[in-house]
Every structure is written in C-alpha cells, then in structure tokens.
Amino acid sequence: MQPLTLSLLAGALVLPAAACDMCSVYSTPEGGSPGGPGFFGGVAEQFTHFGTLQDNGQRIDNAPYRQRIDSSVAQFFAGYHLSDRATVQLNIPWVYRSYSRPQGTYMQSGTEQGLGDISLSGTYALLRETSGEFTYTWSLMGGLKLPTGNADRLGDPDIDGVAPIPDSGIGGHDLAVGSGSVDGLIGSSLLLRWHDWMATGMLQYGIRSTGSFGHRYANDLVWSAGPGRLFKLGSDRSLSLQLLGSGESKGKDTFYGVSDDDSAETVVYVGPQLTVNWGPRLTGQLGGDIPVRIANSGLQLVPDYRVRAVLNLRF
C-alpha cells in the first residue's frame, strides 16, 4: 500500500473529545509515519453547544432563562515521528467559553478563556500489517496532562436559585479551563481496511488526581468507532467518509473526598466524519456529532451538538 493511502487511513483515527470537552487529548493516531522520521504540527478544534437541562437523566424545561455554554477548545499540537511506528507529541489547548447561568437572585453571563492543561504523549504502532487488499494497524498511546490551565473556577461556591430564578445546571467544574492536577492518559486505536472499505476504533482513558481547591475530576473513558469508505481523487489526493459512534463516560467528581452529585455523565454520539489528504503531507478533517443518549447525575446542562475540525501538516 502507498504511503499516501496509509496516511489517509491513519488520519481517520481521530480521538474526539466528548461531553467533558477538556477530557480527551487529540493524538495523531498512526504511531509513526509511513514516510519515515519527521516533524508534524497542526490544530484540532472542537465547538460544543450545551443548551439542554437534565435532572438525573430526565430532561427539564430550560425556558425562559435559557442556561447555556458555548465551548470552543482549540488544541495546537506539534510532534515528531521517531520512526515508522513511534511518535511523540505536545498539545497546547486554548479554551474559550461563553455562558449564561442563574446565581441566586439574578442571571449571570460572561466568558472564560485561557491556556488549558498542556499534555505530552507518545504513540506506538504495536502491530502493523499490509497484505494485498487487507491492512490492519493497532497502536498504543500514553501520556501526561500537566496543570498549566487556570483552575480558579473550581472554587466557585454552589448557590441555589431564589424564585423565580431556578437552580443552576452549570458548576465551576464546567467553566474552569484547567484542573490543577497532574493526570495520566492511556489509550489504544485500531484500523482495519479491506479493498476500499475500512473500520476504525479507539479508546482513551484519563486517570485523574486531586487538583486545585481539593477538586478531583473523575476518571473518564472516551471512545469512538465506525465504518467508512475510501475514495481516490487523483494521484496524490484522496478522502474517506465515515459514520462514527462516539462518547464519554465518567463518574462523580469529588471535593476533598466528598462526591459532587452533579458531575457524573455518560454521553453517546453519532455523526459523520470526512478526512481529506492533499498530497502526502497535508490532512484535513471535519466531523459533527449529535447526542443520542445522555445519562447524568443531579442537575446538569448537557450537550446539544458538537463540531470537530483538524488540520495536520507533515514536514
């Protein structure tokens, strides 16, 4: 198989973030470059709109006060392909959130933005086989997330609404751009191709520690999987179309060891993903997701949709 096609296949294995839109780290998933050692870099952007209130999994009326969060997380990444199997990567996220929430007797609107928690990760293609019209690649990933983001919002007190203002479905842990903790990341990705058909899957697990204000985000599992089709657009251009199921599951956060009842969540998404290669060095990606199942604890604002885009340049 040609390096261009291998690059396209690898580009289809995106690691999308889920409802907790800072939980996942975008990682180039191929575990090395078929073209050999070299640098790469780019940006992975995710926009998520949160506009639905749920209380213990049951949807409740969000009118007329319309609590919301519009969250944008841009992960600027750079790395080096050590070989055709091994890659190291640095991610620098910039987080921007616009929100509106009740605070006691009034509605509060504002923005939070800043540098998020930087991560350093490595990916290795443990198994890779190409034989005629069949290809598979299995890669492993591991890394650390560092406490570089501002975690001051984790110290926000819980303020109950005073009638007619309702209780807030947005906590400080939803607005903080950092965690104040050093966290571990482990993951795995799988690619299967037969002729022009393909399937990909990935798992990423976050192992959290206690951070600022005694807050500990719960460990979380992020996943995606789905079939797709490859198309050649010319001698050096090609694309893939996929239908992905994806999601995230996490338990309750804790404050100084006490459970936060408004923080556990499981979200399942479905949506399309388009990956395009312009020559052997430039890859672009665009995807969108709609939640089809959301289970949560307590009163929370949950996502309505998200849009993802990636631009990756190999030098």
Per-residue pLDDT tens over the stretch 60-96: 999 889 999 999 999 999 999 999 899 999 999 999 9
Listed residue (205, 251, 198) closest to 226, CA to CA: 198
**Low-confidence spans in the chain with pLDDT less than 70:** 1-23, 28-35
In this predicted structure, what is the pLDDT of residue 4?
44
In this predicted structure, what is the pLDDT of residue 19?
43
d(CA 58, CA 188): 33
In this predicted structure, what is the pLDDT of residue 140?
96
Distances (CA, A) of 186 to 192, 195, 293: 21, 31, 25
Domains belonging to the chain, first-starting first, are: 3-314 (2.40.128)
In this predicted structure, what is the pLDDT of residue 35?
63
Token pair 């709109």 is at which residue?
Answer: 49
In this predicted structure, what is the pLDDT of residue 14?
46
Bridge partners, residue 197, by sequence:
194, 229
Listed residue (184, 217, 292, 207) closest to 247, CA to CA: 292
Q: pLDDT tens digits, residue range 180-206? A: 999 999 999 999 999 999 999 999 999
In this predicted structure, what is the pLDDT of residue 236?
80
For residue 16, the one-letter residue type is P
Q: What is the CA radius of gyration of the chain?
A: 20
Q: Do the Cβ atoms of 59 and 294 come closer than 8 Å?
A: no
